[in-house]
Amino acid sequence: MSYLTEFAPGAGRLRPRAFFASDAPALGLDGVWRFRLAGSAAEVTPGFETDDFDDRGWGELPVPAHWQMHGHGAPAYTNVRYPFPLDPPHVPDENPTGEYRREFTLPNGWPEGPAVLRFEGVDSCFAVWLNGRPLGWSTGSRLPAEFEVGGVLRPGRNVLAVRVHQWSPGSYLEDQDMWWLSGIFRSVTLLARPADGIADFFVHAGYDHRTGAGTLRVETGDGVRLTVPELGLADVPADEEHVLPRVEPWSAETPRLYEGVLSAEGERVPVRIGFRTVAVEDGVLKVNGRRVLFRGVNRHEWHPDHGRAVPPETMRRDLLLMKRHNVNAVRTSHYPPHPAFLDLCDELGLWVVDECDLETHGFQRVGWRGNPSDDPRWRDAFLDRMRRMVERDKNHPSVVMWSLGNEAGTGGNLAAMAAWTRERDPGRPVHYEGDRACSYVDVHSRMYASHEEVDLIGRRADEDGGADSTDGGGARRRTLPFVLCEYAHAMGAGPGGLTEYQRLFEAHERCQGGFVWEWIDHGIRRTGPDGTEWFAYGGDFGEPLHDGNFVADGLLFPDRVPSPGLAEYKKVVEPVRIGVADGRIEIVNGHDFAGTGHLEFRWSVEEEGVAVAGGRLDVPVLAPGERAEVAPPEVPAGKAETWLTVRAVLAADLPWADAGHEVAWGQGLLSPAPPPPARRPGPVTGKDGLLRVGPAVFEERTGRLLRLGGLPVDAPRLDLWRAPTDNDHGLHGRGTPDEALWRRLGLHRLRHRLVDVAVEDDALLVRTRVAPAATDLAVLADFRWWGDGDGLVLEVRAEPVGDWDCPLPRLGVRTAVPAALSHVEWYGGGPGEAYPDMCRAARVGRFAATVDELQTPYVRPQENGNRTGVRWARLTAPDGTGLRIDGAPAFELTARRWTTEDLDAARHTHELRPHDRVYLHLDAAHHGLGSASCGPGVLPEHRLTAGPRSLTLTFTPYRSAP
């Protein structure tokens, strides 16, 4: 097993080539294999590869799969740190090694001659034998490897044996931030390779946007013919340039594919052709002559039960979810995806930045000492990885950039990868974020740059230097297009600040969008003893070294339920802008390529959230970039707060969504709420130490609310605390994280002192001073209570005293009502959660949900579930009793069955246990979310600075819903 100490990437493998299916015979070898896991490479089974080895004592494991997801060994998560010593190319003796065996019968009629055994992905290193004969070995987990087996196959029974090592020299190049998972995790196939077949091909299909012409040449073997009926090409030589005077180009918005066939004597290969030309021109990345704007996400392959062995239907689901959320681009972080994923991108329309399986981030911890990226002994391995990706994926129109990898420092091996790539495929720019000087890339790329920095870059005013810069090179860098290959770290509640990034992308031509980090939380599904599901993260498998829940930072929860962050992203990047204001409706087509012909515009008028009129809006078909103004429908003035909503929906079914699917919306206020009638307090009456204020009873001595009508209600108290979010925790943010400031000050352990209780002007006035221990900072909170018919009015005035030098998490009151009041209806922002810098997706309307449905199940529990701009809310029990809360004009609403302290203490969702109360937070304001878990914190305009605030609420208990 000398390969475990070599820098070479493999031996005995065939030259890399395109992935394709053909009419040549193929035999899938997925299914149940015999399996045994050895603790180290030294403990493998002698002779396991031989024909007659008796494997009946072994266990079984499906292929494709990771053995850790099937009870052998355990998953382990680290972000940057290698879980083994930096001692390249050596790996520890403790090296779990899977032994796999599978017998198969060669089908009758299988042709004699060359045949190939193809592995799509094996993590991290494997050696393979067929019928006892060694074929070779390979590294490069997320890349294919093929071996010639024509001379080894035999009619009838064949025996395939594969030895897979968890750790190998290749592991040094695979330090991506993800679970360490091993095994044959993508398909294995046996392919007959007809001698007079098509070994490989490279489709070059360009589009001239000035003339509308397409040029088509398929680089392949001599004598191969091409037929594309729709283009009028019938059995023409493939490897010649065909100029087609008029073709429909491919773009992510208009994914036009032409079906064709390549044919040789011995083989026919179906091909799908998309005409497009990618170029960097005048410092702008263009496709078909137009600037593109990436509304992207970083996608790791993830399934909560299968790890990176993602079932095909899940890949499709990802793409449908992306398209339905206005995502138009994917960076395949940080390795080439399953090849079928790219077929779907071609078909459904996504721009793809195809990234090589390469990351050496752990060397940063030793100052990049010994980084493989600049060590010539690793050069072959680097080039091998790039070649295998480019050759495999070169025929996908969706792939518009090649990325060398991620976080591998810089060095000659990366430059060599770029040079090879340009030579092999001049038709696609090269991307790599780590080349700060942009000496060997075509696009300037950064991750987590702040809004301010993006603005500077947009204005080409960014300077050399900076914390991460390796050298200057600014002059060249400033001539290139700019993308944020990662931004808006979607860990936990958030990300905040998306809108402000989008404005910069739309303001600066060279800022061509970005890719949110990341698509999905990599949680592993577990089931508790009572059947409750939860998701595990780093440390849950007893790893000695791990990075906790940093692996759960996606726009989807692990089970692919969209998070509020995804709803926000959908709204922020919507490709059509609908402005409704000042008696006008303005529609802007923000697509780069598509007109609005596929959309239908619908309007509706709602009075206090109840639809009173609606219809279709006549909007002319707009070309990309065009805008139109349309007159709003005539509607009589409403008696209540009235909004006009205009929605752009799909006019007909598309492959990724049905007719009626909403793409974009805009809302404008038609008439504000009428001023509330003048109210006069009823008298405050007292008896037996109790005070009666409207429908409520208070304790006279303390001013504490005891009962509200028939409801036992916890006396509202001022609250400033929220269970810190991952962004508050700010592990990789800048400056001192908000959570650290808050805990240092003690906002999680406030003390309340009653200053004074008085009855004045028919109102009960309760003055309090709220402060943490060990400081003289405080918030003075006055509660003024008075009765208004059936209602109880509370006016809160809060005034911080002292020199507060940190923002407040929230400012409002906290109370609790009986658990039975579990059905919530509200008029205000919804339907999902919203915070000051993540609130674009919240529209004004009337919504309903149970208290349980109001919770957002972040993998690590934290603040969540706030509903914004709530004018009124009703909480009702099944028997019809309830409580109505009105804001004047509005408040922020959170309702949950556990306390903030419970949320703060829980590490996983199943640890949260409902109490017999519904805890309510009725807030005047919240601090924003930001994305300081990795990146910038809350922007100044969304910080909740300490200052005087007030909040007015009316509580009205009822017996059956009013």
Q: Which residues bind ligand GAL (CB under 6 A)?
A: 79, 177, 334, 406-407, 447, 486, 489, 517, 550, 553, 934
Strand 482-487, strand 444-447: pairing: parallel
Q: Give the orientation angle of helix 498-507 with respect to helix 564-572, to 10 degrees.
A: 20
- Distance (Å, whole) CA 473 – CA 857: 45
Q: Which is nearer to ligand GAL, 78 or 868 (CB)?
A: 78
Which one, 467 or 774, has the nearer CB to ligand GAL?
A: 467
CB of 348 or CB of 934, closer to ligand GAL: 934
Candidates 750, 687, 679; CA nearest to 718 is 750
Rounded to a whole number of angstroms, the minimum distance from the CB of residue 724 to ligand GAL is: 18
Q: What is the smallest separation between the CB atom of 469 and ligand GAL, expressed in angstroms? A: 16
Measured distance CA(529)–CA(215) in Å, rounded: 62
Buried b / exposed e over 212-247, threshold 16 CB at 10 Å, is: eebbbbbebeeebbbbbeebebeeeebbeebebeeb
Residue 333 beta carbon to ligand GAL: minimum distance, rounded to whole angstroms: 6
Which is closer to ligand GAL, CB of 564 or CB of 935? 935
CB nearer to ligand GAL: give 553 or 606.
Answer: 553
Residue with smaller CB distance to ligand GAL, 444 or 949: 444
Residue 341 CB, nearest approach to ligand GAL (Å): 18
Does residue 889 have a cis bond before it (omega within 30 degrees)? yes
Find the DSSP H helices in 325-467. 339-348, 379-393, 412-424, 451-458
How far apart are alpha carbons 950 and 795 in whole angstroms? 7
Residues 6+ apart with CB under 8 A from 57: none
Cβ-based nearer residue to ligand GAL, 79 or 288 = 79
Residues 6 or more apart whose Cβ sits within 8 Å of residue 169: 3, 4, 5, 6, 7, 88, 89, 90, 91, 125, 139, 381
Cα gap 761→778, rounded to integer Å:
27
Chain centroid, CA 61 distance in Å: 31
CB-nearer residue toward ligand GAL: 167 or 550: 550
Q: Is the peptide bond before 429 cis (omega within 30 degrees of 0)?
A: no
Closest contact distance (angstroms) between CB of 931 and ligand GAL is 10
Q: Which is nearer to ligand GAL, 334 or 394 (CB)?
A: 334
Bridging pattern class, strands 125-130 and 156-165: antiparallel
- Among 355, 407, 433, 641, the one annotated catalytic: 407
Q: How far is the CB of 486 from ligand GAL (least distance, A)?
A: 6
- First-to-last alpha carbon distance for the chain, in angstroms, is 78
Residues forming beta bridges with residue 764, ordered by sequence position: 759, 785
| Candidates 301, 391, 486, 543; catalytic one | 486
Residue 570: CB atoms within 10 A of its CB come to 22
Residue 302 beta carbon to ligand GAL: minimum distance, rounded to whole angstroms: 13
Which helix (H) or strand (E) element contains residue 126? strand 125-130
Compute the least distance from the CB of residue 489 to ligand GAL, in Å. 6
Residue closer to ligand GAL by CB (options 264, 524) is: 524
Q: Is the peptide bond before 355 cis (omega within 30 degrees of 0)?
A: no
Pick the closer one to ligand GAL by CB: 447 or 777. 447
Work out how close the CB of 548 gets to ligand GAL at its nearest, in angstroms, rounded to a whole number: 12
For residues 169 and 40, what is the distance between their CA atoms, to the nearest angstrom?
Answer: 15
Closest CA to 361 of 179, 172, 180: 172
The CB-of-362 to ligand GAL minimum distance in angstroms stands at 12
Residue 25: Cβ within 10 Å count: 16
**Residue number with CB closer to ligand GAL (79 or 328):** 79
Beta bridge partners of 492: none
DSSP-based three-state secondary structure for 543: coil
Contacts of 296 (CB under 8 A, 6+ apart): 327, 328, 329, 330, 331, 351, 353, 513, 514, 515, 516
- 407 is annotated as an active-site residue: yes
Residue 219, φ and ψ in degrees, nearest 5? -70, 115
Q: Least Å distance between CB 178 and ligand GAL?
A: 8
Instruction: Name the residue number minimizing CB distance to ligand GAL.
Output: 177
Task: Output 553 or 738, the one with its CB closest to ligand GAL.
Answer: 553
With tokens 């994923």, the residue in question is 341
User: How far apart are CB 300 and ligand GAL at their closest, in Å?
Assistant: 8
Q: What is the helix, strand, coil percentage profile of the chain, to 5?
A: 15, 40, 45
Q: Is the C-alpha dihedral spanning 507, 513, 519, 522 positive or negative?
A: negative
Report which of 834, 832, 864 is spatially closest to residue 849, judged by C-alpha positions.
832
Task: Sheet with 430-431: list strands edge to edge.
Answer: 430-431, 399-403, 351-355, 329-331, 294-298, 511-516, 482-487, 444-447
Closest CA to 555 of 528, 516, 588, 590: 516
The closest alpha carbon to 612, from 632, 630, 587, 637, belongs to 637
Quick check: is 863 catalytic?
A: no
Cα 379 to the chain's mean position, in Å?
33
Provide the minimum distance between the beta carbon of 176 and ligand GAL in the complex, in angstroms, as a whole number.
Answer: 6
Catalytic residues: 407, 486
